[in-house]
């Protein structure tokens, strides 16, 4: 189990291949990581489920890579008008 309390604001989030996906805005509850919208080409926040996290070691490293990461754009994208 990953220690969620080690995840910090402004940590890099990388996929299983080491590709930069975004930067942590914050952990929301015990279910997902909210990424900063400045990393999005559309200027919107994206969310990653915490169960995708493999390790936290200076960056947040995910188990997924490649086509699975497209889920960030589809299944785990949320629109919020008053986001930070």
Interval 17-74: pLDDT, tens: 899 989 999 999 888 999 998 887 777 788 889 999 999 999 999 998 755 555 555 4
Is 31 among the domain residues?
Answer: yes
Is 32 among the domain residues?
Answer: yes
Is 49 among the domain residues?
Answer: yes
Q: What is the pTM of this model?
A: 0.77
Q: Domain with 44 in it: what CATH number?
A: 2.30.30.240
Q: What is the rounded CA–CA span in Å between residue 84 and residue 78?
A: 13
Reported in sequence order, the residue ranges of the chain that DSSP labels E, i.e. its strands, are 12-14, 20-28, 32-35, 47-49, 53-56, 60-62
Is 22 among the domain residues?
Answer: yes
* Count of domains observed in the chain: 1
Is 66 among the domain residues?
Answer: yes
What's the domain range around 51?
Answer: 9-72
């Amino acid at each position: 189990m990953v220690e969620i309390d080690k995840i910090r604001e402004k940590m890099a989030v990388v996929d299983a291949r080491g590709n930069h996906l975004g930067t942590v805005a914050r952990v929301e509850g015990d279910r997902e990581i909210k990424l900063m919208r400045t990393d999005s080409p559309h200027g919107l926040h994206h969310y990653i489920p915490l169960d995708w996290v493999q390790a936290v070691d200076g960056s947040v490293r995910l188990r997924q890579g490649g086509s699975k990461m497209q889920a960030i754009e589809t299944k785990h994208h949320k629109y919020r008008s008053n986001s930070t």
